[in-house]
């Protein structure tokens, strides 16, 4: 069952996933006032093959100079633009427990265009309070809150047992992209994109390979 949603772009998902680490290297180069950087240098910093880096960067439309490399500033802009990280994205966090709180407190998101505009929880202990400047609302206020404000991403960090029912509520309110940190496989309509962040699958790799 091929997921069409992830294949609308002329770049493979592995390529998209590597771009942020290139951006890290490039931003650092920019801080060090480097004017140009070659794919070879990026590759060696990240222990990748130069060919792969060049091919990945090509999807952003960047054009480099043989024997020189890419203009650092231009390359940074090309990647950020390709990733849409030069535009603002509105996000909400649903479930402000341990993990939800950690994600709200992470400054790396804002740096790449993601603004957590507010959060939702079902616990009376949390509703009405703020977490690092982010207001927490009751889940039943969701529809009302999102009526006038279009949300780009819902970050789902509720207990796995309620994940599906909360998801259905999110979809009712028009959410089209869900970043799912729960262990639940979410059932959603065709036009809703779910990205699963599955820590247990990473732990599996560690357990098997050690």
Ligand X SMILES: NC(=O)c1ccc[n+]([C@@H]2O[C@H](COP(=O)([O-])OP(=O)(O)OC[C@H]3O[C@@H](n4cnc5c(N)ncnc54)[C@H](O)[C@@H]3O)[C@@H](O)[C@H]2O)c1
Which residues make up the interface to its own copies (CB under 8 A)? Answer: 1, 5-6, 8-9, 11, 13, 16-21, 24, 45-49, 82-85, 89, 98-99, 101-102, 105-106, 108-109, 112-114, 152-153, 176-177, 179, 183, 185, 193, 195, 197-210
Residue closest to 129 by CA, chosen among 96, 153, 100? 96
**Contact pattern for ligand X over residues 115 through 144, marking x by CB under 6 A:** -----xxxx--x------------x-----
Angle (CA) 13-196-140 rounded to 5° is: 135
Identify which of residues 44 and 122 has a Cβ nearer to ligand X in the complex. 122
Among 79, 96, 151, 170, binds ligand X (CB under 6 A): 96
Q: Minimum CB separation from ligand X for residue 196, in Å?
A: 11
Identify which of residues 87 and 140 has a Cβ nearer to its own copies in the complex. 87
Instruction: Determine phi and psi for 190, rounding to 5 degrees.
Output: -45, -40
Asked if 180 touches ligand X (CB under 6 A), the answer is no
Q: Which of residues 150-179 bind ligand X (CB under 6 A)?
A: 157-160, 162, 166
Indicate which of ligand X, its own copies, DNA, none lies near residue 16 (CB less than 5 to 8 Å, by partner kind). its own copies
CB 156 within 8 A of CB 166: yes
Identify which of residues 20 and 159 has a Cβ nearer to ligand X in the complex. 159
Indicate the burial class of 161 (C-beta count within 10 angstroms; 0-12, 13-18, 19 or more): exposed
Residues engaged in binding ligand X (CB under 6 A): 94-100, 102-103, 105-106, 108, 120-123, 126, 139, 157-160, 162, 166, 181-183, 199
């Amino acid at each position: 069952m091929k997921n069409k949603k992830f294949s609308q772009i002329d770049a493979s998902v592995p390529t998209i996933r590597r771009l942020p680490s290139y951006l890290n290297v490039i931003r650092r180069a920019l801080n060090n006032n480097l004017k140009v950087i070659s794919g070879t240098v990026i590759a060696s910093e990240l222990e990748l093959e130069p060919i792969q880096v060049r091919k990945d960067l090509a999807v952003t439309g960047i054009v480099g100079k043989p024997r020189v490399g890419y203009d650092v500033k231009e390359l940074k802009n090309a990647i950020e633009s390709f990733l849409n990280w030069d535009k603002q994205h509105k996000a909400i966090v649903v479930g402000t427990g341990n993990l939800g709180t950690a994600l709200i407190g992470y400054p790396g998101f804002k740096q790449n265009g993601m603004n957590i505009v507010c959060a939702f929880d079902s616990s009376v202990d949390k509703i009405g309070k703020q977490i690092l400047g982010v207001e927490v609302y009751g889940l039943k206020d969701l529809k009302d809150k999102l009526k006038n404000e279009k949300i780009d991403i819902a970050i789902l960090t509720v207990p796995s047992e309620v994940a599906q029912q909360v998801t259905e509520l999110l979809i009712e309110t028009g959410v089209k992209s869900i970043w799912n940190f729960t262990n639940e496989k979410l059932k959603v309509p065709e036009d809703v994109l779910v990205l699963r962040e599955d820590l247990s699958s990473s732990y599996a790799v560690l357990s098997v390979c050690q």
